[in-house]
């Protein structure tokens, strides 16, 4: 299946769908980064010096930092191609949300600090 870019650009963007997809994606990435990935690492490696040594290896550091984004992009990609077959308007929401997450994820610490500073 090929994606017709002109058809996708001309499709209307349903704002409610875009906001809901973005919010649910934010919840998915946040829970994955803060809860699911550390829980999986703890259940696989346990505690102690050996698990700390394993967790310090470069591939594990990469997965701990970027695993949540990789999972979210895979889910958005699957949902994009599935929605593109049925309704291109909704596919545009998934694509724009994936692009938004891809651009803002490297700044997640700074964004989180800014939000917490606003709350205090």
Mean pLDDT of 98-106: 93
Average pLDDT, the chain: 87
Alpha helical stretches, state H, the chain:
5-10, 15-31, 37-45, 49-55, 58-86, 88-104, 108-119
Residue 10 resides in a domain: no
Q: Does residue 66 belong to any structural domain of this protein?
A: yes
Nearest to 77 by CA among 25, 40, 26, 27: 25
In this prediction, residues 104-113 reach a mean pLDDT of: 90
Tokens of 60: 């594990």
How far apart CA 22 and CA 24 sit, in angstroms, is 6
Kindly state whether residue 87 falls inside one of the protein's structural domains: yes
Segment 46-101, tens digit of pLDDT: 777 877 888 788 888 888 889 999 999 999 999 999 998 888 788 899 999 999 99
pTM: 0.83
**At 37, is the pLDDT very low, low, confident or very high (cuts 50, 70, 90)?**
confident
SS3 65: helix
Residue 9 forms part of a structural domain: no
pLDDT of amino acid 80: 93
Residue 120 lies in a domain: no
Residue among 76, 42, 34 at smallest CA distance from 60: 42
Domain range for 34: 22-114
């Amino acid at each position: 299946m090929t994606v017709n870019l002109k058809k996708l650009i001309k499709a209307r963007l349903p704002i409610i769908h875009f906001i809901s997809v973005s919010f649910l994606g934010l919840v998915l990435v946040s829970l994955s980064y803060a809860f699911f990935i550390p829980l999986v690492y703890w259940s696989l490696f346990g505690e102690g010096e050996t698990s700390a040594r394993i967790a310090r290896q470069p591939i594990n550091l990469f997965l701990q930092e970027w695993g949540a984004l990789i999972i979210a992009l895979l889910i958005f990609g699957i949902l994009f191609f599935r929605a593109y077959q049925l309704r291109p308007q909704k596919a545009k929401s998934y694509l724009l949300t994936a692009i938004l997450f891809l651009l803002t994820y490297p700044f997640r610490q700074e964004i989180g600090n800014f939000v917490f500073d606003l709350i205090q």
